[in-house]
Structure 1
Amino acid sequence: MRIAVIGFGTVSKSLLRVLVDKSKMILNDYGVEIKTVGVFKRDGAFINNNGLDLERILSSESYRVEADWVDVADFNKIADELKCECAVELTPTNVETGEPGLSHIKTALQHGMDVVTANKGPLALYYPELMDLANQVKRRILFEATVAGAIPLFNLVRNNLRANRILSVKGILNGTTNYILSRMTSEKLPFKIVLKEAQKLGFAEADPSYDVDGIDAAAKLVILSNALLKQECRFKDVKRQGIRDITPEAIELARKDGFLIKHLATNEDGVLEVAPRLVEIGSSFAVSGSLNVVKLQTDLAKDLTLIGRGAGGVETASSVLNDILELAILRR
């Protein structure tokens, strides 16, 4: 399987490192050799259709002098030159236009490539259109890493719940907000102080709006709803409320009554909502720190609850790599 990795952020670097470390195991256990023929950065790309030296790319401080470096950063312009079966789209999420990931995915499909992505934007905005395009060109889009990091939601449903109908979904889908609410609960601190702490520790971005205003969780909920509940919906369909107005006093009142305040994403009876909600202390949603929780209600298997790490470079790369392997095995 020859792949091109688009984007060079934390997840991309983690994926390249895992590919270096796991290549022998993958070949021995699955009979799959993964060759990376392209790595696209903002200011250019590494291109070699015979396979790139990933260790050298990861350790190179003067990448512009590398023999495989080209000063063309636009995947759309040089997709024709790539001998590649799979595009791995890992650019940052944009829920306003979906770009540049949206164009990358379309270009890859139109050039006969399958797509693996961790980018929520294109799917949150244009899930039906992208799946229609993939079907037209007889290619696949896999996106396990878009929701809940290392938790294998889509693979679980696709491979192990084939006869089940997913009736509803409820989850804590953003680790940053869960960390903030957990700290506000345990230390009785106000939101602004805990947010600054989270930013210093790297849990929250300098502009935390994607997390604390529920934008990230809403995008994930839309993908879950389209993929698992087969409900055609878009980002604009989500009713959204963030956590900025939650006070230590409200948290303490809830705790005295046996509840915690959590930021939940829900699709029940076709209504999509991201908002603070009360959950019972001791319930499966009472997780602390940056953990994610997803509860699926099904018609046959009944309720299934999954808990795991919803973020992190290596954790997300784990899901990306699993999707790459699935496509490689299907193509044999």
Structure 2
Amino acid sequence: MKDCRVIIMGFGAVGQGVAEAISLKKEMIKEEYGVELKIVAAADSSTSAISQDGLDEELLLKTKKETGKLKDYPEYGGEKSNIDVLESVDYDCLFEATPTNIKDGEPGLSLTLKAFSEGKDVVTSNKGYLALNFEEVIKAAKEKNVQFRYEATVGGAMPIINLVKDTLSSCKVSSIVGILNGTTNYILSRMTSEGSSYKDILRESQELGIAETNPEQDVEGIDAACKTVILANSLLGIPATYNDVSVEGISNITSEAIDLAKRDGYLIKLIAEISPDKLKVSPRLVKEGSQYDVNGTLNMATVKTDLAGDVSVIGLGAGSLETASAMLTDLISILKFKN
């Protein structure tokens, strides 16, 4: 039986989702792939828990929920964070789940490059440093001959990167158009069904935990723009960065505008368009009953290919366990590749 020792960097909603997913699926992975997953370290913004023999997933989650700090994990909690954690324990794969930062990509960028330099594989959910430095990061992974997977950076549980790279590998992709942010889709869906104002639905979304306390990255289109950059680079080979995307959010959408659209059989959705001629995120009219007519926190995307025609995918675009499912799937892909 082989061990796969992992570190979870970032123990917010996604990092906790990864710990829960490992707890739920480690026996399946052991039976099907002959690999025993061990979390040898987990770190939040300022503290960590580290044990070469492995940490208990449920106790990690319990500690974080009850005290807010991983330093309170019995016996193995401490004050180390970020790079220090990577240097404190031997591991095989880094789950990089620190918050998205579109200013300089830190700390995710440094953590990922550090892991590569030590010959470690990385699975990330972090859009920030890929939106800023996609080519640099991919080049670094190739130079060190390590596996780097990032399905969770786009669409949560909606499969698109691996779908195109694996299932549609014979096809050339000419464009991708879709809804890439679950929070804005939820807000617009509720405004459409209830006739409520943007401010009222945003406040309710924050109370439900669907929207962040500071919702700017979602509602101003920043999150969808980051995903646009990642898809442009990874699936269309366009060497774009965040500054190449035209971005407009939904904060100026009124209930009156939504009502006018409905009268003519249309909906307003925040749409990302990725093609060699256009990288754009903006509110757009879509036909009711079309593939873009999805509600709640669902994401969707239509991939236009030369051989397979148009292929549309739909999946939950928000949620800790949903995003973690994409990260765990990426790890399983790495295990398959190495076996």
* TM-score, scaled to structure 2: 0.94
- 2:184 — aligned with what? 177
Q: Report the counterpart of residue 74 of structure 2 in structure 1.
A: 66
Pick which of 26-35 and 294-303 moved more: 26-35
* Most deviating of 152-161 and 61-70: 61-70
Structure 2 CA distance, aligned partners of 1:127 and 1:245?
Answer: 31
Structure-1 residue corresponding to 2:108: 101
User: Which residue pairs with 1:214 in the alignment?
Assistant: 221
Residue identity over aligned pairs, in percent, reads 44
Matched, 1:261 2:264: no
2-side partners of 1:125 and 1:275: how far apart? Answer: 20
1:54 aligned onto 2:57: yes
- For residues 147-204 of structure 1, the C-alpha deviation after alignment (integer angstroms, 9 at most, x for no partner) is 1111121111121111111110011011111111111111112211211121122111
* 1:226 aligned partner: 233
- For 1:295, the equivalent position in structure 2 comes to 302
Larger displacement relative to structure 2 (238-247 or 14-23): 14-23
**Is the contact between residue 179 and residue 271 of structure 2 (CA under 8 Å) also seen in structure 1?**
yes
The whole-number CA distance in structure 2 between the counterparts of 1:208 and 1:59 is 27
Q: How far apart, CA to CA, are the structure 2 residues paired with 1:201 and 1:3?
A: 31
Query: 1:65 Cα deviation (Å)?
Result: 6.0
Greater Cα offset, 57-66 or 290-299: 57-66
Displacement after TM superposition at 1:91 (Å): 0.6
Which amino acid in structure 2 is aligned with residue 262 of structure 1? Answer: K
Q: Does 1:325 align with 2:328?
A: no
CA distance in 2, matches of 1:110, 1:44: 23
User: How far apart in 2 are the matches of 1:268 and 1:155?
Assistant: 19
Q: CA deviation at 1:97?
A: 0.9
Which aligned runs of 4 or more in structure 1 are off by greater than 4 angstroms? none
Q: Displacement of 1:73 after TM fit? A: 1.1
- 1:200 matched residue in structure 2: 207
**Residues 236 and 275, structure 2, Cα contact 8 Å, conserved in 1:** no
In the alignment, structure 2 segments of 5+ residues that lack a partner are: none
What is the aligned partner in structure 2 of residue 270 from structure 1? 277
**SS of residue matched to 1:203:** coil
Q: Which residue of 1 aligns with 2:39?
A: 36
1:193, 1:56 → 2: CA distance?
38
2:131·2:230 contact (CA, 8 Å) conserved in 1? Answer: yes
Query: Which one-letter code corresponds to 1:45 in the other structure?
Result: S
Quote the Cα distance in structure 2 between the aligned partners of 1:295 and 1:99: 31
1:47 aligned counterpart, secondary structure: strand
Aligned residues: 331
Pairing of 1:159-170 with structure 2 (within 5 A): 159-170=166-177
Note the alpha carbon deviations across 1:118-147, whole angstroms, 9 max, x for none: 010011110000001111111121001111
Cα RMSD of the aligned pairs, angstroms, is: 1.4
Q: In structure 2, what is the Cα distance between the partners aligned to 1:115 and 1:56? A: 24
Q: For each residue in 1:73-103, what CA deviation from the matched residue of structure 2 results, as whole angstroms up to 9, or x when unmatched?
A: 12x2342332111111001101111111111
Aligned residue for 2:267, secondary structure, equals strand
**Segment drifting more, 177-186 vs 101-110:** 177-186
Describe the SS at the equivalent of 2:55. coil
Following superposition of structure 1 onto structure 2, how do residues 73-88 of structure 1 map, counting pairs within 5 Å? 73-74=81-82, 76-88=83-95
Structure 1 CA distance for aligned equivalents of residues 118 and 299 of structure 2: 36
**Residue 53 of structure 2: SS of its match in structure 1?**
coil
Give 1:7's aligned residue. 10
**SS of 1:274 mapped into structure 2:** strand
Corresponding residue of 1:114: 121
- Corresponding residue SS for 1:198: helix
